[in-house]
């Protein structure tokens, strides 16, 4: 299973990666919207998206990833995307 974690807080991203790695997931991490768009040229089974990113918000970025006419990323059939806001 290929998973993209879009999270700007490194401890949260690494924690999620460790949990998913225990299930043998192939995990990539993007710490910004720009990096997420670069990585989203690959097909992912799941994208975990933080709402509050430094350069964009998760809702806008989700639309950009899934609307190829508005994105530099080609439209790929990501199977599931979860948008969340974590409070520490």
Q: What is the model's pLDDT at position 68? A: 61
What stretch of H or E contains 68? Answer: none
Regarding predicted confidence, which is higher, 63 or 67? Answer: 63
Tens digits of residue pLDDT in 17-50: 999 999 999 999 999 999 999 998 888 888 999 9
Mean pLDDT for the chain overall: 84
Q: Confirm whether pTM is higher than 0.85.
A: no
Answer for the pair 50, 6: CB distance below 8 angstroms, yes or no: yes
Q: What is the model's pLDDT at position 26? A: 96
User: Cα–chain-centroid distance for residue 50?
Assistant: 8
Alpha helices in 10-86 (DSSP H): 10-21, 33-39, 58-66
Give yes or no for residue 9 having a pLDDT over 70.
yes
* Residue boundaries of the structural domains of the chain: 31-83
């Amino acid at each position: 299973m290929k998973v993209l974690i879009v999270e700007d807080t490194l401890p949260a991203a690494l924690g999620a990666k460790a949990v998913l790695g225990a299930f043998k997931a192939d995990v990539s991490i993007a710490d910004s919207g720009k990096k997420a768009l670069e990585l989203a040229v690959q097909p992912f089974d799941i994208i975990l998206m933080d709402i509050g990113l430094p350069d964009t918000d998760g809702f806008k970025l989700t639309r950009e990833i899934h609307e190829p006419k508005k994105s530099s990323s080609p439209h790929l059939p990501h199977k599931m995307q979860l948008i969340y806001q974590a409070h520490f």
